[in-house]
Amino acid sequence: MDTRISSKLPNVGTTIFTVMSHLATETGAINLSQGFPGFEPPGALTDRINWHLHNGANQYAPMPGIPALRHAIAEKTQRLQGRELNVDTEITVCTGATEGLFSAITAIVHRGDEVIILDPAYDSYEPAIELAGGITRRVPLLIDQNGSDFHPDWQRLGDVINDKTRLVILNFPHNPTGAILSADDLEKLAELVRDTNCYLLSDEVYEHIVFDGEPHHSLANHDELWERSMVICSFGKTFHATGWKLGYCAAPAHLTEEFRKVHQFTTFSVSTPMQHGVADFLISNPEFYEDLPTFYQQKRDHFCELLAPSRFKFRPARSTFFQILDYGDISDEKDESLAKRWTREIGVASIPLTVFCETPFTATRLRFCFAKDDATLEKAAEILCEL
């Protein structure tokens, strides 16, 4: 037998998050690369999970998620986005956003369909599109004149949409740039897709981390867009628990039906005690996610103040727990090579941006995760200010 397998993903290597975190561990560098908080989930939440672990919640959960969690998600969506979700037909709990995105793409994309993603694009979208036989079309975000603010390029998106476009994948609040959508952006998007057959997949895992008093405009918030949207969220970001891999897909019934056909054979159902614990906590402690913008804005502001004397150019992030720094005045080395060298030589790990792009239009920029305790941020900033 020929043991060389014919790869279904010949151009895919190991994800940059694994590569950089591994290098940080190996070299003992401060790890501001892969995005995960340096603090624990709230004790009241882990107490509830613990309670359920010891009180019988240890067998398969229902395929779409336990009713209590779906109710808690519906209550939150109603309060924050004004959308009344049907608990039975419009919410599916999934194994983190990654599974939600994969199941949604698999459910919607047929061989030969075109799927538009916006560069820099989170790295799980394209392989899922490829496995479904779809063709990825990448539209870069627009960078403003001083080079530090990013926006969707609606005109270019409109130019790329054609009869074969089946899906547009959006990710706002945006990882890695922190770009957010305005109400006007949703109107522009509605105009673009109105007379098309394309669906929208909205990755909103940073829905609760938006700064400077700005609201998060979910696609669930817009009546016309909602009819063609699947919205993916993750409790990993919201509860400082990225290792739990717990998320959900909210979508109108006709889309949820197709989503569940894939979800039930991708994973079937999600960890039962986790679902119960999160359901209890969502209902009893909404202030936890309501206070998240303030919590992370303080982190962002602290990190940015520490970096003010540095030679990096930047605009404080509008959302997420990532800060982009432009190192153009320090070096002209390629970002991936520099991120690796700095991890080894100065002991701070980051994520290069061009790996998320078709063309290197984001050159000389690195992403730093500021979801860390102040001492870690201070140590990292001290090193970065010496460059």
> C-beta of 175: minimal distance to ligand PMP in Å?
4
Give alpha helix (H) positions in the chain.
16-27, 43-53, 67-81, 96-108, 125-131, 154-160, 183-193, 223-226, 235-238, 253-266, 272-284, 286-290, 292-307, 335-345, 374-385
Q: How far is CA 288 from the centre of its chain?
A: 19
Encoding tokens for residue 67?
């009713």
Count other Cβ atoms within 10 Å, centred on residue 302.
Answer: 15
Interface with ligand GLN in residues 3-32 (CB under 6 A): 15, 17
Measured distance between the N- and C-terminal CA atoms of the chain, rounded to whole angstroms: 54
Whether residue 46 contacts residue 281, with contact meaning beta carbons closer than 8 Å, is answered with no
**x/- contact string, 112-131, with ligand PMP (CB under 6 A)?**
----------x---------
Interface with ligand PMP in residues 203-232 (CB under 6 A): 203, 205
DSSP state of 210: B
Q: Which of 24, 29, 34, 336 binds ligand GLN (CB under 6 A)?
A: 34
Q: Which of 33, 202, 221, 242 binds ligand PMP (CB under 6 A)?
A: 242
Q: Which of 64, 140, 236, 293 binds ligand PMP (CB under 6 A)?
A: 236
Degrees to nearest 5, angle at CA 301 with 30 and 219: 95
Q: Which residues contact 214 (CB under 8 A, 6 or more apart)?
A: 180, 318, 319
Q: Find the residue with minimal CB distance to ligand PMP.
A: 96
Closer Cβ to ligand PMP, 192 or 201, answer by number = 201
Residue 34: name its binding partner from ligand PMP, ligand GLN, none (Cβ under 5 to 8 Å by kind): ligand GLN
Encoding tokens for residue 140?
């870069």
Q: Which of 97, 107, 128, 209 binds ligand PMP (CB under 6 A)?
A: 97
Closer Cβ to ligand GLN, 134 or 173, answer by number = 173
Residue 171: name its binding partner from ligand PMP, ligand GLN, none (Cβ under 5 to 8 Å by kind): ligand PMP
> C-beta of 82: minimal distance to ligand PMP in Å?
24
Q: Which of 41, 64, 96, 140 binds ligand PMP (CB under 6 A)?
A: 96
Give the whole-angstrom CA distance, residue 296 versus residue 302. 10
Q: Binding of ligand GLN at residue 295 (CB under 6 A)?
A: no
Closer Cβ to ligand GLN, 17 or 154, answer by number = 17
Residues that bind ligand GLN (CB under 6 A): 15, 17, 34-35, 175
